């Protein structure tokens, strides 16, 4: 506006025969006004850039967890926008040394070749309808592909969870839909930046079958430093339980035909000193599913009523450069478990592990994190001595390696793992090297 008035003033002076001196004064004033406007605009631009830089820095450094889930999975809960996009991925190279536990020489030769794999690429899609209703969905592409048949290969695309969360109060909320079963450390938070080894712990793969997702309703919340889950979920299919993997193969997908349910609860306590301790418990019933959907047989028949009992306790410490996680788990089958189609299944399992990591960069105040990592696991997948070769299902695993975080969202891991079977096992001990890249966004 000032420029317009000054311009009019110049024109007016010209019209009425203003002197050269008057015109010069008017032009000089106009130059000063333009210079001031440019200075003010430059200052405004610099302020905007500083604000954007601060926002980007916060995005890099702060991935918060909501209800014990991973940082990327929790993104929608802290988003200022309606739509939230996140995710994670894992790329891995594995090389075995003289593996010989398959039934054919050809299969053993293939296993001993280097394996390159896009283990997982997982986008999260979240939407915040308002301040208290949130949709959160995880879509997993595993082993780089999709499965459209009914076979048991491990190459698939699947909805791993998709639910609505009704955030009524910090102490009481309701989650409904296809959900993660709240047990252990890894099942709720299985993003690759959350554990230090290239593979997830075997205890939380074979006993607690991470990732364990099913349909159900959960209440959850925080009260002071306590965080809890409690609710009802659909039970796994007992007809698919197998030797050496407990209930793992009985997990059901998002579409289920079942009348079997389990009660599950999880409680944890977070201390400001960096210590978190907790535990979880599940009890339910399961039968034999003869069809996975109307007209599609599972190949299993029978009328067994099986009970499932599972429990675990866990603890972690993350402070002063240390990252320590430990867990002990127990599982039992009761009722008519001896009538299951896969005979010889043990009705009791247990396992424990501890992962120790220390960030040596913390000593020298260097950027990033570089962990020296050691892990010991013990698994007894036949604690009741029911299987034909008991020691095939009893073993220790020892892992040593490194985990380097150049950015909180990116991790490079390298480790060597040894599996040591029981003395009377018919299986040979296994040794493998793994190099993996993981990220969240």
| b/e per residue 411-429 (b: at least 16 CB within 10 A) | bbbbbebebebbeebeeee
Question: Which residue in the block uniquely carries the two structure tokens 């991925």?
Answer: 89
| Beta strand residue intervals within 237-368, DSSP E | 261-270, 275-286, 291-293, 296-297, 306-319, 322-335, 348-359
- Among 44-53, 72-81, 286-295, 421-430, the minimum mean pLDDT is found in 44-53
Contacts of 91 (CB under 8 A, 6+ apart): 117, 118, 119, 436, 437, 438
> 348-371, pLDDT tens digit by residue?
999 999 999 999 999 999 999 999
Residues 6+ apart with CB under 8 A from 100: 108, 428
pLDDT reading at 273 higher than 80? yes
Phi then psi dihedrals of residue 313, to 5 deg: -125, 145
pLDDT at 53: 54
For 329-343, what is the mean pLDDT?
Answer: 93
What's the gap between Cα 169 and its chain centre? 25
Q: What is the CA angle 210-440-318, rounded to 5?
A: 70
pLDDT in tens, 85-136: 999 999 999 999 999 999 999 999 999 999 999 999 999 999 999 999 999 9
Map residue 10 onto helix, strand or coil: helix
Quote the pLDDT of residue 144.
79
Beta bridge partners of 157: 141
Strands (DSSP E) contained in 129-225 are 133-142, 156-169, 172-180, 213-223
- Which DSSP category does 205 fall into? I
Distance of CA 417 to the CA centre of its chain: 22
How confident is the model at residue 12, as a pLDDT? 52
Residue 39 vs residues 30, 47, 53: alpha-carbon distances, Å: 14, 13, 21
Q: What is the pLDDT of residues 205-246, one digit of tens each?
A: 999 999 999 999 999 999 999 999 999 999 999 999 999 999
Q: Is the pLDDT of residue 256 over 90?
A: yes
pLDDT tens digits for range 283-330: 999 999 999 889 999 888 888 999 999 999 999 999 999 999 999 999
pLDDT band at 200 (very low <50, low <70, confident <90, very high): very high
- 400 contacts: CB under 8 Å, gap ≥ 6: 373, 374, 375, 415, 416
Task: Please compute the mean of the pLDDT values over residues 44-54 and round it to a whole number.
Answer: 61
Torsion on CA atoms 187, 193, 196, 202, rounded to nearest 10? 20
Average pLDDT over residues 3-9: 46
Query: ∠ CA(387), CA(393), CA(399), 5° rounding?
Result: 180
Distance CA 377, CA 363 (A): 28
* One-character DSSP codes across 47-114: HHHHHHHHHHHHHHH----STT--TTTTHHHH-SSSEEEEEEEEEEEEEESS---SSSHHHHHHHTS-
Task: Spell out the residues 6+ positions from residue 176 whose beta carbon is closer than 8 angstroms to its own.
Answer: 163, 164, 166, 217, 218
* Residue 393 parent element (H or E): none
Instruction: Say if CB 161 and CB 303 are below 8 A apart.
Output: no
Q: Residue 147 — very low, low, confident or very high, per pLDDT cuts 50/70/90?
A: low
Quote the tokens at residue 124.
């999260």
Look up residue 136 and give its two tokens: 């959160």
- For residues 320 and 315, give the distance between their C-alpha atoms in angstroms, rounded to a whole number: 17
> Are the C-beta atoms of 320 and 357 separated by less than 8 Å?
no
Per-residue pLDDT, averaged over 325-340, amounts to 96
Burial status of residue 208 (CB atoms within 10 A of its CB: 0-12, 13-18, 19 or more): buried
Contact 86, 73 (CB under 8 A): yes
384 pLDDT higher than 60: yes
Q: What is the pTM of this model?
A: 0.84
* Average confidence score pLDDT of the chain: 90
Task: Please give the average per-residue pLDDT across 258-267, as a whole number.
Answer: 97
Residue 301 has what pLDDT?
Answer: 86
Count the neighbouring beta carbons within 10 Å of the beta carbon of residue 26: 18
**Upper half-sphere CA count for residue 263 (Cβ side, 13 Å):** 1
Asked if 201 contacts 327 with a C-beta cutoff of 8 angstroms, the reply is yes
Give, as one character, the DSSP assignment of residue 390. Answer: G
- In angstroms, how far apart are the furthest CA atoms of the chain? 115
**Alpha-carbon separation of residue 239 from 103, 180, 247, 288, 392 (angstroms):** 24, 22, 10, 4, 22
User: Who has greater pLDDT, 27 or 12?
Assistant: 27
Q: How confident is the model at residue 63 (pLDDT cuts 50, 70, 90)?
A: confident
Q: What is the pLDDT of residue 57?
A: 42
Assign 155 to helix, strand or coil: coil
């Amino acid at each position: 506006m000032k420029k317009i008035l000054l311009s009019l003033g110049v024109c007016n002076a010209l019209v009425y025969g203003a002197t050269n001196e008057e015109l010069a004064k008017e032009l000089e004033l106009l130059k000063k006004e333009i210079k001031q406007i440019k200075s003010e605009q430059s200052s405004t631009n610099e302020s905007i850039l500083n604000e954007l830089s601060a926002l980007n820095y916060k995005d890099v450094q702060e991935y918060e967890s909501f209800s014990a889930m991973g940082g990327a999975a929790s993104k929608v809960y802290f988003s200022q926008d309606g739509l939230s996009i996140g995710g994670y991925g894992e790329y891995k190279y594995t090389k075995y040394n003289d593996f010989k536990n398959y039934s054919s020489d050809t299969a053993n030769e293939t296993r001993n070749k280097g394996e390159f794999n896009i283990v997982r690429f997982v986008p999260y899609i979240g939407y915040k309808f308002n301040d208290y209703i949130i949709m959160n969905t995880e879509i997993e592409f595993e082993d780089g592909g999709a499965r459209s048949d009914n076979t048991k290969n491990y190459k698939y695309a699947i909805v791993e969870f998709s639910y609505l969360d009704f955030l009524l109060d910090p102490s009481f909320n309701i989650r409904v839909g296809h959900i993660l079963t709240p047990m252990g450390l890894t099942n709720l938070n299985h993003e690759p930046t959350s554990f230090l080894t290239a593979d997830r712990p075997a205890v939380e793969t074979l006993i607690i079958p991470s990732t364990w997702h099913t349909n159900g309703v959960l209440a959850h919340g925080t009260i002071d430093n306590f965080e809890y889950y409690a609710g009802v979920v659909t039970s796994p299919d007992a007809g698919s339980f197998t030797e050496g993997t407990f209930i793992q193969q009985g997990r059901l997908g998002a579409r289920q035909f079942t009348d079997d349910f389990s009660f599950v609860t999880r409680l944890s306590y977070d201390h400001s000193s960096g210590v978190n301790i907790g535990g979880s418990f599940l009890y339910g019933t399961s039968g034999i599913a003869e069809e996975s959907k109307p007209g599609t047989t599972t190949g299993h028949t029978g009328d067994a009523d099986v009970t499932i009992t599972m429990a675990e306790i866990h603890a972690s410490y993350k402070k002063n450069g240390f990252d320590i996680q430990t867990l002990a788990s127990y599982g039992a089958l009761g009722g008519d478990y001896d009538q299951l189609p896969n005979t010889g299944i043990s009705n009791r399992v247990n396992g424990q592990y501890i992962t120790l990591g220390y960030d040596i960069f913390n000593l020298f105040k260097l950027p990033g994190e570089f962990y020296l990592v050691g892990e010991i696991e013990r698994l007894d997948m036949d604690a009741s001595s029911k299987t034909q070769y008991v020691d095939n299902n009893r073993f220790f695993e020892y892992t040593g390696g490194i985990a380097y975080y150049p950015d909180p969202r990116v991790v490079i891991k390298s480790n060597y793992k040894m599996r040591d079977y029981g003395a009377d096992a018919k299986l040979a001990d296994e040794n493998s090297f793994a190099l993996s890249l993981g990220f969240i966004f």
